[in-house]
Amino acid sequence: MEPLAPRLARKKRRNKKSAEGGESAAAAAAPAKRGRQPRAAAAEAQGEPEPSNRVFIRNLPRACTAEELTTLLSTAAPLKGEVFLSSNARISGHFAFAEFADTAAAKKAIDKFNGHVMDQQGKPGGLVVQFAR
């Protein structure tokens, strides 16, 4: 370990540079290591998901099955494929992904079912339906 005096001298120089707006201030304003952004900044950068033919559905009742959800969603627009329903509701919450024929069909389903209350709804507010990321 080096003597205390040289370490203090380096610390004073760094503090002086940051007070003057030198290199240390720029390094302090840089993002975290490995190019990662803080969570709030990353979420803000993502913003709203781009419209696509895939939708994400959350706040599903635990008793909801893929067949029930397929029947419900197909009343708004025809589905392109199967509905993927989360398998471990105790850990991750109950959510699903569905794929529609096109973006307009997905938008129609979002408009129709966002806020829709199902039987045995666990959380208040109904379903949350949005474009998938």
pLDDT at position 34 is 62
pTM for the model stands at 0.61
pLDDT(120) > 90: no
Query: CA–CA distance from 63 to each of 54, 56, 87 (Å)?
Result: 23, 18, 12
Indicate if the alpha-carbon torsion angle 95, 101, 106, 112 is positive or negative.
negative
pLDDT(18) > 80: no
Instruction: List the domains of the chain with CATH numbers.
Output: 4-46 (no CATH), 54-131 (3.30.70.330)
Give CA–CA dist 4/86, Å, rounded: 58
pLDDT at position 74 is 93
Give CA–CA dist 60/69, Å, rounded: 9
Tens digit of each residue's pLDDT (9 = 90 or more) over 35-83 = 555 544 444 455 667 888 999 998 888 888 899 999 999 999 999 988 9
